[in-house]
Amino acid sequence: MLAIENLVVRYGSILALRGISLEVNEGEVVGVIGPNGAGKSTMLMASAAAIPVAEGDIRFEGETVLKERPEKVVERGISLVPEGRHIFHRLTVGENLELGATTRTDAAAVEEDRARVFELFPILKEYLGTPAGKLSGGEQQMLAIGRALLARPRLLMLDEPSLGLAPVVIDRVFETLEQLRKTGMTILLVEQHAERTLDLADRVYVLRTGSIELAGTPEDLAGNPQFEKAFLGFV
Amino acid sequence: MSETGTSTRLPVGGSLGSLGVRLWPLLAPAGLTILISLLALMGSEVLERKATFMLINMVFVLGLYTFVGNSGVLSFGHATFMALGAYTFAFMTANVRVKNTTLPDAPGFLRDADIATWQAVALAAIVPAVFALIVALPLMRLNGLAAGIATLAMLFAVGVIVSQWQSLTGGNTAFAAIRRETDLYYALVIVVVLMPLVYLYQQSRFGLRLRGTREDLLASRSLGINTVRERTIAWVISAAIVGIAGAMYAGFNGTIDPSQFFLGARSAGGVTFLTIAMLVVGGISSLAGAVVGTIFLSGIAEALREVEKATDQRHITEVVLALILLLTLILRPRGITGGREIYWPFRREQTMRRPAAAPSAAGTSE
Amino acid sequence: MDPSEVAQNAIDAAARGSFLALVALGVALLFGIMNLVNFAYGEVILAGGYAMLIFTTWFLDASVWPLLIIWTVVVAIVFALAQERLAFRPVRHADPTTMLVTSFAVSVLLVNIAIVVWSGLARPVEIGGVTLEQFTAGEIRIRKLDVITLGAAAFLLLSLTAFLKRTSLGIQMRAASEDFRMSQLLGVPANRVIATAFFIAGILAGSVALITVGNQGSSSPGMGLFPLIFGLVAVVLGGMTSLIGAVVGGFVLGGLIVGLEQGLATYGMERFRDAFVFLAVIVMLVFRPQGLVVGRAIRERV
């Protein structure tokens, strides 16, 4: 579904990604883990066509996204929940959700999707008229995910959804992702939280200083001494 | 990044030749300026005056560059310093009898002042420098857009004071009978003295630190660099230099009035626009850029002034200069020089410059 | 001060405040959406002013004022959109300082074109005596133009608020001004919201042009400069990143100007009024850069 090939991204003289390749198949949950500054967010931003790419290609359902405007990428079915959630604090919860459906033209189907989001996150329905900045961190994360779902993505990309949240809230976020996976949603999840990612993902890539260091199923990686030392030791 | 690359270069040797190579980023623009001035000397008197005016603008742009180029903080306010320098020079050198008639209410020591030209020039550097030091306290804390707007506010505030303080400055009426001693030689001597000073500052540890804050504010703060102090140093030096440009201008024109310096309904961009255009078109972050930009736009402007005279159509020059500035910003935002210095073209030790970093950094820093 | 004097000052402050609020709103709208401090916004006002001159000399006289208003606003909108397309779109991804210099260049370009075409002198615009009329109630004088200004400002503010709150394009505008990149990630087209911002700014500038020409009875190359500068001051006072802040800043500045005039007149120093206004800007930038009304953080992480 999503194929990243030899992707190189530069920030000025800094090489953020040094030619990574990665694949996400339909219906799969793929995790990308790695330390801060490894280039994880860069990879997602590039896939959302939000930053320029130096070399390589990113293809979605066989066609490149590189020359696309960001809004076209959303239309084609990729949604990104960026790191730090980036909800619109001064807009109401309802308005934030409405923005999620910006690219949609099928009003009736949007209404269905809204109902589904409220099923997933009942709390959002209660706060519809509240400025989103008043929500707690966990509720904001739910809003961010709900908002992304309203674009009816075929590929949902999440950047560190557990960042800055209390453990019990993180549980809730991962439960949600588990639920989404059951509906057949394709998910690309970037996390520092290695253990939970291994629990959820079908396949995992390890990204470090702009290169892919390891890749495989959670079982493969869990047995890999190099991986255990680097990640599981800290969790 | 490319500039910092230069200053970290190792000394190449002790001989005079290699010193020349090392100083080439200074010698090249200085030589170019001298060459053009000498060529103008061989031409008509009109050409000589045009070259003199170019050198006055160059002093302004060198001053502007000292602050803006090294700090990366934009200033719309430097014409303030030019005005302060010009009025200081005017008070110190204008005909005493004329001053006593036109400004009867000004303090006596200003009305009766009549000092040597070089002393007046020195004073025209000191007054703006002191003023700059005072306003630096609030201004130098600001970054980016806030700094741009605050320097503009400074320009307008001082502009109101100069044009409204009738009893001191004569307000909007012209301040006349200023000693006219600015000719090409005089202007060239000042440029030849100031340009090495600007280069020296840029290569000094102060200049280097300030360039560090330009490249990365947070990183340089973590290295213990005091941004406000480094900026203040450059700001004050730059005010002094632009003040000298003001003195040169007053001594060139013989009369001054606020509309020559401050933005107003009549100025249509004025000296603020002209000098910013010169620096940006040349390349904002190198000495070479300041010099090349001044020469380039002066050449175009003076040619267009002739067209204006021939067609009796004023302000064509400003239209064309604004178009050139716009095209530069859109097509070549780092200016003609790309923000790099001019290096000795024949040397072998090119490799001593930081290899990979320089070209790719060019597009992003700032 | 006796009550009628207080009332007179309040009316003056409100009239100036609403005028400044209109300019400030245009400045803040562009800043909010694309971090652009647009000096050339003054020249959109200028374009409106000369559009009025053209209308009254070449087409019709000002008695057909509805047409005059529409024509002026349309020309301003066209100029605003042209600025965006030709000058600001190519530098959209540059840093704010580059965009600032660009807007300065556009401003100088347009002012000088106006001088080349219409000379540097003010050209009288025949708009009839409407604007000189005034009502009197006891000792209070109210100029008709001030009433028009207040009415126009109220109408535009309410319409803009309704647009921003009620329409989906308006919500997209608010989202983009809070977090431009995130709005793009949700599929809000950058070109659409930016063009809309310039479009609205054009409407505001056209209105400001109508009021300015009404006030001074002429169009001149410098007519955009002072509204722009004071609008910028109002935006700094009110808060760079909030539209409400721009409106608040406009009225605060209106009050400050009238207050300064009264206060300084006692010392015979009212000529220096603007110096104090600009001093206030510097003080504000240093001690409360977020302005009176706080929007988002000015510097966003890239």
Q: Does C298 touch chain B (CB under 8 A)?
A: yes
Judging contacts by C-beta atoms under 8 Å, the chain B residues touching residue C298 are 145-146
Structurally, what CATH architecture does the domain formed by A2-85+153-234 represent? 3-Layer(aba) Sandwich (3.40)
Question: Distance (Å) from the C-alpha of residue C162 to the closest C-alpha of chain A?
Answer: 14
Judging contacts by C-beta atoms under 8 Å, the chain A residues touching residue C33 are none
B8 pLDDT band, cuts 50/70/90, is very low
> A89–C178: do the CB atoms touch at under 8 Å?
yes
Specify the pLDDT at position C34.
87
The predicted-structure confidence for B295-340, as pLDDT tens digits, reads as follows 999 999 999 999 998 888 888 999 999 999 999 999 998 899 988 8
- Mean pLDDT throughout B217-229? 86
Beta pairing class for A29-33 and A78-81? unpaired
Specify the pLDDT at position C131.
67
The most distant pair of C-alpha atoms in chain C lies apart, rounded to whole Å, by 60
Q: Does B355 touch chain A (CB under 8 A)?
A: no
Three-state DSSP at B312 gives coil
Mutate to test the interface with A, among C89, C179, C181, C185 (most CBs of A within 10 A): C185
CATH topology of domain C3-287: ABC transporter involved in vitamin B12 uptake, BtuC (1.10.3470)
Q: Average pLDDT of chain B?
A: 87
C156 pLDDT band, cuts 50/70/90, is very high
Residue spans per domain, chain A: 2-85+153-234
- Residue pair C67/B246 in contact (Cβ under 8 Å)? The answer is no
Residue spans per domain, chain B: 16-352
Specify the pLDDT at position C182.
94
Tokens 């003023």 sit on residue: B131
B360 pLDDT band, cuts 50/70/90, is very low
> C171–A95: do the CB atoms touch at under 8 Å?
yes
B16-352: which CATH number, 3.55.50, 1.10.357, 1.10.238, 1.10.3470? 1.10.3470
The predicted-structure confidence for B164-193, as pLDDT tens digits, reads as follows 998 898 888 899 989 998 899 999 999 999
> A13–B363: do the CB atoms touch at under 8 Å?
no
The predicted-structure confidence for B120-172, as pLDDT tens digits, reads as follows 999 999 999 999 999 998 899 888 788 888 999 999 999 999 999 988 988 88
Specify the pLDDT at position B4.
41
CA distance B238 to B207: 12
Residue B33 in tokens: 């300026």
Question: Distance (Å) from the C-alpha of residue C242 to the closest C-alpha of chain A?
Answer: 10
Give the whole-number percent of chain B exceeding pLDDT 90.
61
Q: Does B218 touch chain C (CB under 8 A)?
A: no
Pick the closest to residue C67 from C46, C51, C78 (CA basis).
Answer: C51
**Residue A115 CB neighbour total at 10 angstroms:** 11
Pick the closest to residue A144 from A167, A155, A160, A166 (CA basis).
Answer: A160
Specify the pLDDT at position C127.
80
> C272–B161: do the CB atoms touch at under 8 Å?
yes
Judging contacts by C-beta atoms under 8 Å, the chain C residues touching residue A88 are 174-175, 178-179, 182-183
- Residue pair B117/B251 in contact (Cβ under 8 Å)? The answer is yes
Tokens 């290695």 sit on residue: A194
Question: Count of alpha carbons within 13 Å of A12, Cβ hemisphere only?
Answer: 12
Low-confidence ranges of chain A (pLDDT < 50): 234-235
- Residues 36-65 in A contacting C (C-alpha not used; CB under 8 Å): 48, 50
Three-state DSSP at A6 gives strand
> B315–C116: do the CB atoms touch at under 8 Å?
yes
Pick the closest to residue C291 from C209, C227, C236 (CA basis).
Answer: C236
C184 pLDDT band, cuts 50/70/90, is very high
CA distance C207 to C19: 9
- Mean pLDDT throughout C2-26? 90
pLDDT reading at B11 higher than 50: no
Specify the pLDDT at position C228.
93
Which pTM was predicted? 0.88
Pick the closest to residue A126 from A110, A137, A142 (CA basis).
Answer: A142
> A13–B357: do the CB atoms touch at under 8 Å?
yes
pLDDT reading at C302 higher than 50: no
What beta strand segments (E) does A65-216 contain? 78-81, 155-159, 186-191, 203-208, 211-216
Specify the pLDDT at position C210.
94
- Residue pair A201/A29 in contact (Cβ under 8 Å)? The answer is yes
Q: List alpha helices for B72-116, DSSP H.
A: 78-93, 96-102, 108-111
Of A96, A102, A147, the CB nearest to C188: A102
pLDDT reading at B361 higher than 80: no
- What is the DSSP track for C70-132? HHHHHHHHHHHHHHIIIIITTTTTS-HHHHHHHHHHHHHHHHHHHHHHH-SS-EE----SGGG
Tell me the torsion sign for CA atoms B96, B99, B104, B105: negative
Residue spans per domain, chain C: 3-287
